[in-house]
Each structure stands twice: as C-alpha cells, then as structure tokens.
Amino acid sequence: MREKAKVSDIDRSLYDFRLEEKDAFKVEEGLTEEIVRQISDEKNDPDWMREFRLKSLKIYNETPFPDWGPSIEGLDMDNIVTYVRPKDNKMVADWNEVPTEIKDTFQKLGIPQAERESLAGVGAQFDSELVYHNVKEEVAAQGVIYTDLESALWGDKADMIKDHFMHLVPPTDHKFAALHGAVWSGGSFVYVPPGVSVEIPLQSYFRLNAPGAGQFEHTLIIVDEGAYLHFIEGCSAPKYNVANLHAGCVELFVGKNATLRYSTIENWSKNMYNLNTKRARVDKDGKVEWVSGSFGSHVSYLYPMSVLAGENARTEFTGVTFAGKGQNLDTGTKVVHNAKNTSSYINTRSISKDGGISTFRSSVTVAKDATGSKSAVSCQSLMVDDISRSDTIPAMDIRTDDCDIGHEAKIGRISDDTVFYLMSRGMSEEDARALIVSGFADNVGKELPLEYAVEMNNLIRLEMVGSIG
Amino acid sequence: MSNKNILEVKDLKVSVKEEEKEILHGVNLSVGEGETHVIMGPNGAGKSTLGSSIMADPRYDITAGSIKFKGEDITGISTDKIAKKGLFISFQNPIEVPGITLFNFIKTAIETKTGEHIRFFDFQKELKKTMEVLNMDPAYAERDLNVGFSGGEKKKAEILQLLMLKPELAILDETDSGLDVDAVRIVSEGIKEYKKSVGGALLIITHSTRLLEALTVDRTHVLVDGKVVAEGSGKLVDEINENGFEKYL
C-alpha cells in the first residue's frame, strides 16, 4: 500500500492571532445616514467629502447587489460595523509611539523589520485607521508625498485629491463602490513628482482585527510625468466566526511616460468577503504593472482594471489565485484600450484545492480608435484534486479590425508522473505537490521582491502541506 | 565482488493499476553490492515496468512477490522512503518541472535525503565539477528542472543527479535511448564515474548495447513477456548483440 498524504485545512497561526478588542471606538452595526454623518464627524471631513459620503450612501441604497459571481448571502450588511478606531489612536511616524499591542501585531507580521531592510516608506492600518506612516527622508526630499488620505485632505494637495478621489471608480460603479464612498476610512495618498524615480518600494499593510467589521481603505496614487514607483500592499486578518467585509478602493493615475508597479499579497482570513475595486488610468507612453497574489478570503470579487487612455500606454497583469477549502475566489482583470498602439499583457494562474472554486474573468475592450493595439491573455489553471473547480470566463469587445488580440487558456491537474519523479529523489508526496504548485505560481513569484516571493511560497506551502493528521 | 545482495526481487507480479492486465508474471532477480547488472529484452517485455515497480511507481500495483533492499522488505513503502534508503532511478523520459532550478532541486534533494543542511559554496563547487565531467553547460544549473532541455541534456541531468545523490543502487531506464553517439559517450563516462567514485550497484535497463560497451557487466537478465527467460554473465550481452532476441521469443 502506498501512503497517502493527508492534506487538511492549513495552520494559519502566523496570521491568525487576534488582539483582544479593548475600548476601541466603534459605530453601531449596519448602515444609516446617522452612522455616515458620525464617521464624517469623527474624521473631520471637509464639507465636500461629507456631501460625497451622503451622496454615495444614497447611491448605495438605490443600487442592487450584483446578480452574478459567487454568493454573498452570508454577508449581512446590518451586522457589519463600518468604522472601528483603535483605542487612543493617533497616527505617528515613530514605531515607538504606536500602542504596544498594535505594535506587537505588526511586529509578528514582520512590518517594521521590512521597513528597515527594504522599503522606502511604510504605512500600517489597523481596522479603520492608520496607526503609523513614515517615509524615508531621502525619498521625502525628492518631493514624494506618502501619507494617510485624511490628513492629505487638509494639506497642500487637497485640490488634487478632490480632483481625483473616486473619479476613476465612481460610487455609481457598483454597490460596494457606493458603500466605499460612504464609509471609506484610512488608506494612503501617494504623489510622485515629475521625473522622480523612487528606487525602493513603498508599502502599506492593512490589518483588520475587529470581528464583524468592515475595512474600507482608500488608496490614491498619482505618479506624475516620467516618474517611477513600486507600491506594495499586504493584507491579513485573524479568523472569526462572523463575516468580515473588505471593500477597499485603489485608484492609480499614471502620467505620461511614467511607470507604476502595484504589487499585492492578499491573505485575508477565510471569513472575509473581499469586494475590492482597483483601477488604473494610464496616459501616453505610461505603464502600469499589476502583480497580484490572492490567497485568502471566503469570497473575493477582484478585477483590477487598466484604462489605457493615452497612445502607447501599456499594462501588464501578473496574477495568481489560490482557492482552498471553503473559498470561492472570483478574480481576473479588465483592460480598456482607449488610444492608438496601446498594449496589454495578462498572465495568470489559478489553483484550486479541497473543493475550492477559482474563477478567472478577463475583459478586454478595444475602442474603435485604438488602432494598432495589442492584447495577449494567458490563463492557466491547476486543480489539485477531483473535488475542486476552476473556470475561465473571457470577454472581449473589439471595435476595430486593426489590432492584434490573443487569448489562451489551459486547465490541468498535478500529474502523477511529476509527483513520482520528485518523490523518486526523496521528496515526500506533500513536498512534491507543494513544489509543483509553487512552480506553477512562479509567474508571480518571479515578479515579486525576494522577501515577498518567499512569503508567497510559504503561503503555498501552508496551503499545500497543512497539518499532517 | 561481494556475496551480499543489495537487491532481491522474488516472484514479483505487477499489474497496471485499476486494470486486470498483468505485466510482470513472477520475476526473480538479485543484484550483489557494487555489481553491474543489465536487463535486456524486446520492446514491451516489461523492463521499464520492473524498474518503476521497484521504485513504487503509482501507475502499477504489486499483486504478489516481494522486493528487498539491503535485506529490508521495501514492498509497498512509498517512493520517497525508498529513495531515502539509497535507491535511485534515472528516468527514460525525465519530467519538466517549472519553477525550480536544477541547482535548487538537487540541493533540496540531497538535503532531504541526508536531513542535513549543505553549505551553499560547497554544493556549488561540487555541482560545477560534476557538470564538467558530463560536459554540461553550467548555465543549465540555473534553468528550471528539465524545462526546455534537449533529450540529451535531460539524460545528462539525470546522470548529474545520480552523481550528486550517490545512491547505493541506481536503476538506469533506457538512459541511452534517443541519444547521439557523442551523448552516449558522455553519459557512459558519467556512469563510469559513478562506479569509480560511489562504487554503487547498477541495474541497467536497455534494449540496445551502446551504453554497455565501456562498462564491465557482471550479470545479464533477459526479460521476455514479463518473465526472466535467460540469465548469464556479461558475455550474454555480446551474444544478444549478435543474434538478437530471436531464440528467446
């Protein structure tokens, strides 16, 4: 008899520790005009923002839930706490001043260490508010702004924010965009001036600690003409038995001849509904590069979108999605070619295991005037066992003959031959399978800075090896 | 030559998994420590099935008989454990594994086998030296395991693993198939190096004799239709080379 490896639910102790909630300020559960006004007061919004929130709430109430994609029936908005401010919160630029318990949380996640070693700046959000934000002096000296959005609303770039905030993702986009507009809190504002190249990445880390809460951070990044930035976001949360909701919003504005790389390793706990909206607008000769690893959450709807607005604008999307037990991850990407000679390159992998469902959606639109444009979509899926599911749903809307469009999709399983080959060199079946899956996800691994690639491989190992019972 | 057998296969019957079809109908075979044995036979005789079954290939079921390695019954234990005991198989069609370099793969395999960490520079040095023996471009160390390798490079990569992992018994499954004359010579050099530096036993599965010319064969087994029909010394190889399998069919 051959021994069969038992692969069960994973040991998430690395991310799964919780901090006892003490004296945090919270609004009531659910969503009413009163709650939105209360959040607005708490946050000291400018008038226009308060109006924006109330208008968004109205849109939210008028917009139906999506009638496609994975079920979100388990998400009862009347039970979600939309705003939780950590006790005694004030945002600081010195780790020593972060409250000890929160500091411990981030230390366990390796955040301050990463900052010392390899980042130009770090933001850390705990529940609804930023607790820490700092940018290295030499980066700030180049005129780079990296701060929380709330204080930026009162700073030098207040008008710039007003001109961009939720212009790319308007509250009318979908129900959760409207929700975001009404209750957003936290997140980051980044501005990179013309011609400035930020050599090492900036990172924001989002931690949702409170049970039954929502996190609605807003990330607004403006990379001006000829500038370069690599921005990394990481997210995690401990697991609770009640649903948590993440409906963040990311808006990226990439100027002429500028490049922005936006990397995400998302590892929400498996009670999380991750209904996140990310969108980039790219001007002439500019480029946005998305690197996206989706590992956590119970249900995800996530389709980062690139609007190629100027001639020769480019986008690359490199993604991996891993759906394990009890997960239904609906991910993909959208591209709109709106100008001549624009190009998009999409390369994704999805993995499903233990009954997990992984769906990849791509949407490519080429406008009538976007002649000479190119798009290549490649999606590969790997099903680790017989009970998991993987779907690929491509959509294309091509309005001109003068373009070059390609799509390829491949669905496969882990081959017994490969497992045997690796085992014949002494690797256990679990290690062999983990190695095959990591290799499959290597498209993303190759694009990440080393320490994040290592973290991603650790996540894959956790998912694949788990506890041996 | 020692009298002690490193491998003893007794009355081995093997079927394709979930099929009634029996491929090996009671095979007996013994290999002494450090000896070089050859299994010859026409296509479809079950030679590769025998090699794979010894390594517990999941495509096959062992329905009767036993396999002993170093006196210990290994019938039914998992492939990785068999490998850790000191058995190795060089694949006829080495598998492409994206995402791990040849370098990291061999290093991981050695560390898994010994349970000990090897120093990066020590490993790098030994790997480089061994690749030179096989006339392999050092750039292959940093390429993903077998991915895009030519047939010849894949076989060399197998022999490289053999030399680095230093097993006590290596099964070489059709290692010479699909190779040109020069590649056969290099692979053959690698095998000689294994005999010299490791001193392990070999069970060479082949239906041609090109690879054997440079080796001293201790024993030859002729496998036809799932049974060993003849056994003899190394000279049997020459005889078959001349007359083919006609008289055993």
- Distance in Å, alpha carbon of A361 to nearest chain B alpha carbon: 25
Domain closes at, from A244, A275, A302: A302
Q: Are residues A293 and A441 in the same domain?
A: no
- Distance in Å, alpha carbon of A235 to nearest chain B alpha carbon: 25
Domain total for chain A?
Answer: 2
User: Rounded to whole angstroms, what are the CA distances from A79 to A27, A74, A242, A245, B104?
Assistant: 11, 11, 9, 10, 49
What H or E segment, with its residue span, contains residue A321? strand A314-323
Residue A361 lies in a domain: no
Rounded to the nearest angstrom, the gap between the alpha carbon of residue A417 and the centroid of all alpha carbons in its chain is 36
Reading the block at residue A459, the tokens are 């996540």
- Strand-strand pairing, A314-323 and A343-352: parallel
Please tell me whether the overall predicted TM-score, pTM, comes out greater than 0.90 for this model.
Answer: no
A426/B80 CB distance under 8 A: yes
What H or E segment, with its residue span, contains residue A201? none
Q: Are residues A298 and A419 in the same domain?
A: no
Reading the block at residue A349, the tokens are 């992998």
| Mutation target vs B (from A414, A416, A421, A440; most B CBs, 10 A cutoff) | A421
| Mutation target vs B (from A378, A417, A424, A438; most B CBs, 10 A cutoff) | A424
Q: Are residues A92 and A227 in the same domain?
A: yes
B83 near A CB under 8 A? yes
For residue range A411-469, list pLDDT tens digits in order: 888 989 999 999 999 999 988 998 899 889 988 888 888 778 887 888 888 777 653 32
Domain closes at, from A258, A284, A302: A302
Residue A215 lies in a domain: yes
B88 near A CB under 8 A? yes
CB proximity list for B186: less than 8 A, separation 6 or greater? B134, B135, B156
Encode A363-373: b = buried (16+ Cβ within 10 Å), e = exposed: bbbbbeebbbb
CB proximity list for A67: less than 8 A, separation 6 or greater? none
> By three-state DSSP, how is residue B28 classified?
strand
A55, A56, A60, A66 alpha-carbon torsion, rounded to 10°? 140
Torsions phi, psi for A77 (to 5 deg): -60, -25
pLDDT, mean of residues B44-67? 95
Domain closes at, from A302, A334, A352: A302
Give the domain extent around B158.
5-248
Q: Are residues A221 and A88 in the same domain?
A: yes
Among B76, B89, B112, the residue with its CB nearest the CB of A1 is B76
Q: Which residue in chain A has the smallest CA separation from B104?
A: A435
A425 near B CB under 8 A? yes
B79 interaction partners in chain A (CB closer than 8 Å)? 2, 420, 423-424
Among A417, A426, A440, the residue with its CB nearest the CB of B112 is A426
If contacts are CB pairs under 8 Å, which of residues 391-420 in chain A contact chain B? 415-420
What ipTM does this complex have? 0.96
- Distance in Å, alpha carbon of A409 to nearest chain B alpha carbon: 18
A434 near B CB under 8 A? no
Which one-letter amino acid corresponds to residue A117? E
| Domain at B195, CATH number | 3.40.50.300
pLDDT > 60? residue B46:
yes
Domain total for chain B?
Answer: 1
A424/B55 CB distance under 8 A: yes
Among A3, A428, A439, the residue with its CB nearest the CB of B97 is A439
B108 interaction partners in chain A (CB closer than 8 Å)? 427
A421/B165 CB distance under 8 A: no
Residue closest to A342 by CA, chosen among A375, A391, A389, A297: A375
Kindly state the DSSP code that residue A96 receives in the 8-state scheme.
G
CB-based contact A163:A152 (threshold 8 Å)? no
Give the domain extent around A253.
16-302
Per-residue pLDDT of chain A (469 residues; tens, 9 = 90+): 333 333 334 445 566 677 666 657 788 888 899 999 999 999 999 999 999 999 999 999 999 999 999 999 888 888 888 888 877 667 777 777 777 777 777 777 777 677 766 677 788 888 888 778 788 888 999 999 999 999 999 999 999 999 999 999 999 999 999 999 999 999 899 999 999 999 889 988 888 888 888 899 999 999 999 999 999 998 777 777 788 899 999 999 999 999 999 999 888 888 899 999 999 999 999 999 999 999 889 999 999 999 999 999 999 999 999 999 999 999 999 999 999 999 999 999 999 999 999 999 999 999 999 999 999 999 999 998 889 999 999 999 999 999 999 999 998 889 899 999 999 999 999 889 988 998 899 888 888 887 788 878 888 887 776 533 2
Residue A448 lies in a domain: yes
Q: Are residues A247 and A119 in the same domain?
A: yes
Residue A424 lies in a domain: yes
Residue A351 lies in a domain: no
For residue range A266-301, list pLDDT tens digits in order: 888 888 999 999 999 999 999 999 999 998 899 999
B99/A445 CB distance under 8 A: yes
Residue A379 lies in a domain: no
- Distance in Å, alpha carbon of A457 to nearest chain B alpha carbon: 11
